[in-house]
Structure 1
Amino acid sequence: MSGFVWNLISFVIAIGLLVTVHEFGHFWVARKNNVLVKRFSIGFGKAIYRWRDKQGTEFVIAMIPLGGYVRMLDERVDPVLPQHKGLSFNSKTVWQRMAIIAAGPIANFLFAILLLWGMYLIGVPNIKPMIGQVTAESIAAKAGVPANA
């Protein structure tokens, strides 16, 4: 496979992972604050794959993997059943709405810390600099630089 194709695949995987972590942050805090989440989508456009959980949230993987969204129940947009009146996003307190909105970027920040911590634990390969040969009467030889060190 060409380098361009590998770069494209790597890009799609990286963006997909970042979008998933970001949207999961919104989703998790919305659920913890008792907001009805209607859809959790990774990607835009036509759905490739979809399923529903026990709470009725539709999970979608869509055609264009350059973003995503979490659609919550909102009284300003959707007709709300009487039994769902307290489950809408806009019925929550300002602090709850701020927490839901901030959860996406915070999730990305924590994910970055986790990745950097993992890289620190595993380490990165490094190449030790070696001097193969020191020419006699050179500045390096006069300075006492040893060969093969």
Structure 2
Amino acid sequence: MSNFIILILAFIFAISVLVAVHEFGHFWVARRFGIKVLRFSIGFGKPIWRRVGRRDGTEFVISALPLGGYVKMLDERDCEISPQDQGRAFNHKPVSARLAVLAAGP
């Protein structure tokens, strides 16, 4: 029984690492194109760890269900944004930049 538990924990760890690398690709390219990243999350559900970056206020989160993740970017379609942040919104970037961000998850 303990081998089964170790196997399940190893699987969850491996999936979490793969998800983190994949989402980091989106995060890195978005930052390179000047898109404001609001949240970098590994997992879904209730956050169990949270930290806000000092440089630009990105919220880094690890959530209770580590079987996925997402990068939330500033986008006018989700909420109202200030005039000074409009140039950093995902939907205000050229199509080539948006496609690069979407394709960046290795």
Runs of 5+ unmatched residues, structure 1:
108-149
Residue 50 of structure 2 aligns with which residue? 50
Residue 122 of structure 1 aligns with which residue? none
Larger radius of gyration: 1
Q: Aligned with 1:3: secondary structure?
A: helix
For 1:95 and 1:11, how far apart are their aligned partners in 2? 36
Residue 111 of structure 1 aligns with which residue? none
Residue 30 of structure 1 aligns with which residue? 30
Residue 86 of structure 2 aligns with which residue? 85
Q: How many residues align?
A: 105
Query: CA deviation digits over 1:118-139, x for unaligned, max 9?
Result: xxxxxxxxxxxxxxxxxxxxxx
Q: Aligned with 2:56: secondary structure?
A: coil
Query: CA deviation digits over 1:37-72, x for unaligned, max 9?
Result: 000000000000000112110000000000000000
Residue 5 of structure 1 aligns with which residue? 5
Query: TM (normalized to structure 1)?
Result: 0.69
For 2:5 and 2:84, how far apart are their aligned partners in 1? 50
Q: Aligned with 2:27: secondary structure?
A: helix
Higher strand share: 2
Q: Which runs of 4+ in 1 moved over 2 A?
A: none
- CA root-mean-square deviation: 0.8
The higher-RCO structure (CA 8 Å, 6+ apart) is 2
Matches within 5 A, 1:1-149: 2-53=2-53, 54-104=55-105, 107=106
For 1:78 and 1:18, how far apart are their aligned partners in 2? 30
Query: TM (normalized to structure 2)?
Result: 0.96
Runs of 5+ unmatched residues, structure 2:
none
